[in-house]
Structure 1
Amino acid sequence: MRARVLATLLLTVTALTLAGCGTDTDEPASGGTPVPSGSGAAGTPSRTSDADAATAPDSLRFTGSTVDGRPFDGATLAGKPTVLWFWAPWCPKCRAQAAETAKVAEDFAGKANIVGVAGLDKPTAMKDFVASTKVDGFPNLSDEPGEIWRKFEISEQSTYVLLDKDGKTVFTGNLPAGKGLADKVGELIG
């Protein structure tokens, strides 16, 4: 069993590494298409109670740790539109998306959740990326084992996943330099 898990992880990491830094287009990544949707907190969500976690949609039933080691429960995101930004510290396209992602987090604070999900490197590199790109205004998770990446079927970094307030995926794809992210989040909050 352990060998199978390690083999799956190795294949995932290899595929992500070979994918480079995503594409130069704003086309949705495979497996996702834009879908219009309805309404909604940047900041740092905290742990939820068991009752809250039970009412969270399946898409938000995940846990992890922030790059600075604090526990994180995806169920805290329930009820508001959510942007999950999958990035890698060494990815120049991710670095180019950082400023716009931070601006969107600031502009939509209290109305939408913005969460970075770092992978494909070590926690120290993830912390350095957060500090150097100034994306510390919203939670950034350290997903070194790739569990959250697999949950959302992410196969390349610099990918955004947008969830409506009910946790339904309405967009999965790359937005070069984050352009268009504010419009997509604005549509979700109404």
Structure 2
Amino acid sequence: MFSNYPAYGAGRQRSDGMKRLGRTRGPLILSAVLALLLLAGCAGKDQPASPGLAPTTGQSTPLAGIRPRPATLGGGPFDPASLAGKPVVLWFWAPWCPICRSEGPAIRNVAAEFTGRVRFIGVAGQDTVPAMDAFVKETHTDGLTHLADVNGSIWREYGVSVQPAFAFITADGKADLQIGGLDEQTLRSRVAELAAGASTSTVTMTPGGTCSRAPDGRLICQSAGPAHTATTTVITTTTR
């Protein structure tokens, strides 16, 4: 007559089981969230990571079309005409980005090695000017010119939505964008190609993506999944 009722303690067993499941699920969810944060690298505070885009600006003088004209971190004016006819590397960074911070020594070394042949310009964004000033002092990159892109106009011009990123600009104004950090050896190789007059397109993207070159010379890549993850494929083509 009691066959339709659960045995004594069964309810407690189910309750204890649910509690154990909850205790197990919590750390798993937390681990997954932490993993996603690590994979995201230095994605912007308010912007999701996006596939790479290597644009051709169509201007022989980098930054000439930026309005209002960007100012240096020191507060002085910056004249884009000073870059005309020269190979240029734009280094996009944010003060709170640990990968950007770790690139400081490589930036200093390579920029010094190519002094007079390739101009390095830091483009700081996504934070305040005082935070940018502190970053420059702490990374000892004050030997470079840094622009305070507080309103993000330069980042938008070059299709940058995550950092660090590099725009390698030839003497005739064609720009190739590298999304993600570069070690010193890779950076030196890219800058050497730029100094030698080579135009190298390098885009970091997730597996499953596709790249195609547009009629105007842009290398446009589309990713099948979230971009800027730990597993990436780098596609490189060189033209002279």
TM-score (normalizing by structure 2): 0.57
Cα contact 1:96–1:178 (8 A) shared by 2: no
Corresponding pairs, count: 149
Partner secondary structure for residue 110 of structure 2: helix
Q: Alpha-carbon deviation of 1:74?
A: 2.2
Task: Indicate the structure whose relative CO is greater, using CA pairs within 8 Å and at least 6 residues apart.
Answer: 1
Partner secondary structure for residue 160 of structure 1: strand
Partner of 2:158: 152
Cα contact 1:83–1:113 (8 A) shared by 2: yes
Deviations 1:7-59 (A, max 9, x none): xxxxxxxx832558x79xxxxx51129xxxxxxxxxxxxxxxxxxxxxx6264
How far apart, CA to CA, are the structure 2 residues paired with 1:179 and 1:69?
33
Partner of 2:86: 80
Q: Alpha-carbon deviation of 1:76?
A: 1.4
Partner of 1:184: 190
Q: Alpha-carbon deviation of 1:174?
A: 2.0
Q: Which amino acid aligns with 1:135?
A: T
- Of 77, 95, 114, which aligns to 2:120? 114
Q: Which amino acid aligns with 2:174?
A: K
Larger Rg: 2
Q: Which of the pair is proportionally richer in helix?
A: 1
How far apart, CA to CA, are the structure 1 residues paired with 2:113 and 2:103?
15
CA pair 118-178 structure 1, distance change in 2 beyond 3 A: farther
TM-score (normalizing by structure 1): 0.71
What's the % identity of the aligned pairs?
38
Partner of 1:173: 179
- Of 60, 64, 83, which aligns to 2:63? 60
Q: Alpha-carbon deviation of 1:126?
A: 0.3
Q: Which amino acid aligns with 1:17?
A: K
Partner of 2:52: 30
Cα contact 2:63–2:154 (8 A) shared by 1: no
How far apart, CA to CA, are the structure 2 residues paired with 1:148 and 1:171?
13
Deviations 1:87-115 (A, max 9, x none): 00010000011110111111111101100
Q: Alpha-carbon deviation of 1:177?
A: 4.0
Partner secondary structure for residue 123 of structure 2: strand
1:17 aligns with 2:23: no
Unaligned runs of 5+ in 2: 1-42, 197-240
How far apart, CA to CA, are the structure 2 residues paired with 1:177 and 1:183?
10
Partner secondary structure for residue 109 of structure 1: coil
Q: Alpha-carbon deviation of 1:179?
A: 4.3
Partner of 1:43: none
Q: Which amino acid aligns with 1:104?
A: V
CA pair 152-171 structure 1, distance change in 2 beyond 3 A: closer
Unaligned runs of 5+ in 1: 1-14, 24-28, 34-55
